[in-house]
Structure 1
Amino acid sequence: MSQTTADLKRQIGAATDLQSVVRTMKAMAASNIVQYENSVRALADYSRTVELGLGVGIRAAESTGSKLQHAQTPATNMTAAIVFGSDQGLVGQFNTIVADEALRTLAKLPGEQMTWTVGERVHPSLGDSQLQFAGRFNVPNTVKAIAPLVGQLLVEYETQTKHHPETQLFLFYNRPTAGSLYEPVRQRLLPLDNAWRRQRSEIPWPTKNPPQVLGNNLQTIRKLTGEYLFVSLFRACAESLASENASRLAAMQRADKNIEELLATLNASFHRKRQSSIDEELFDVVSGFEAL
Structure 2
Amino acid sequence: MSDTTASLRRQINIAGELQSVVRTMKALAASNIGQYEQSVRALADYYRTIELGLGACFRGNESAALMSTSEERVNDGAIGVIVFGSDQGLVGQFNDVITDYAIKTLADLPGKPQVWAIGERIHARLADAGLPLLGLFAVPNSVKAIAPLVGQIQIESETHREKGEYAQVYVFHNRPQSGSLYEPVSLRLLPLDAQWQKGLTHVRWPTGNLPEIMQSGTATLRALIREYLFISLFRACAESLASENASRLAAMQRAEKNINELLENMQHTFHRLRQGSIDEELFDVISGFEALFLEAVIKKQEAAVEAGKAEPQLR
Could you tell me the TM-score, scaled by structure 1's length? 0.93
Work out which of the residue numbers 56, 66, 69 in structure 1 matches 2:67.
69
Shift of 1:94: 0.7
User: Hey, what does 2:31 align to over in structure 1?
Assistant: 31
Cα deviation for residue 112 of structure 1 reads: 3.6
- What is aligned with 2:95? 95
In the other structure, the counterpart of 2:209 is 209
Shift of the 166–282 alpha-carbon distance from structure 1 to 2, 3 Å rule, reads: closer
The equivalent of 2:4 in structure 1 is 4
Task: Find the aligned partners of 2:115 and 2:206 in 1 and give their Cα distance.
Answer: 39
Bigger-Rg structure (1/2): 2
Closer, same or farther: CA 224–275 of 1 in aligned 2, 3 Å? same
Query: Structure 1 residues 165 and 124 mapped into 2: Cα distance closer, same or farther (>3 Å)?
Result: closer
1:221 shift after superposition:
1.3
Counterpart position of 1:219: 219
2:79–2:114 Cα contact (<8 Å) kept: yes
Q: Does 1:44 align with 2:81?
A: no
Separation of aligned partners in 2, 1:180 and 1:217: 44
Question: Once superposed, what is the RMSD of the aligned Cα atoms?
Answer: 2.1
5+ residue gaps, structure 1: none
Query: What is the match of residue 15 of structure 2?
Result: 15
Query: 1:56/1:116 Cα in 2 relative to 1: closer, same or farther (>3 Å)?
Result: same
Of all paired residues, the percent bearing the same amino acid is 60
Shift of 1:202: 1.6
Shift of 1:240: 0.3
Q: Is the CA contact (8 Å cut-off) linking 1:140 and 1:149 kept in structure 2?
A: yes
Distance between the aligned counterparts of 1:66 and 1:101, measured in 2?
34
Distance 2:2 2:97 in 1: 43
Counterpart for residue 200 of structure 1: 200
Whichever residue aligns with residue 258 of structure 1, its letter is: N
Change (3 A) 1:4 1:194: closer
Amino acid at match of 1:32: N
Instruction: Give the Cα–Cα distance (whole angstroms) in 2 for the partners of residues 4 and 135 of structure 1.
Output: 52
User: Which residue does the alignment assign to 2:151?
Assistant: 151
Match of 2:54 in 1: 54
Counterpart residue number, 2:187: 187
Q: Alignment length, in residue pairs?
A: 290
Worse-superposed segment, 212-221 or 267-276: 212-221
Q: 1:68–1:284: structure 2 CA closer, same or farther, 3 Å change rule?
A: closer
Kept in 1: contact 2:75–2:165 (CA 8 A): no
Offset, 1:233: 0.1
Written as runs of structure 1 = structure 2, the 5 A alignment for 1:260-279 is 260-279=260-279
Specify the alignment match of 1:127 in structure 2.
127
Gaps of 5+ in 2: 294-315
Counterparts in 2 of 1:221-260, with a 5 A limit?
A: 221-260=221-260
Bigger share in helix: 2
For the 8 Å contact 1:166–1:191, the answer to whether it is kept is no
Say which is worse superposed, 185-194 or 225-234, in terms of deviation.
185-194
TM-score, length of structure 2 as denominator length:
0.86
**Corresponding residue number in structure 2 for 1:175:** 175
Alpha-carbon distance in 2 for matches of 1:278, 1:18: 30
Q: Which amino acid aligns with 1:36?
A: Y
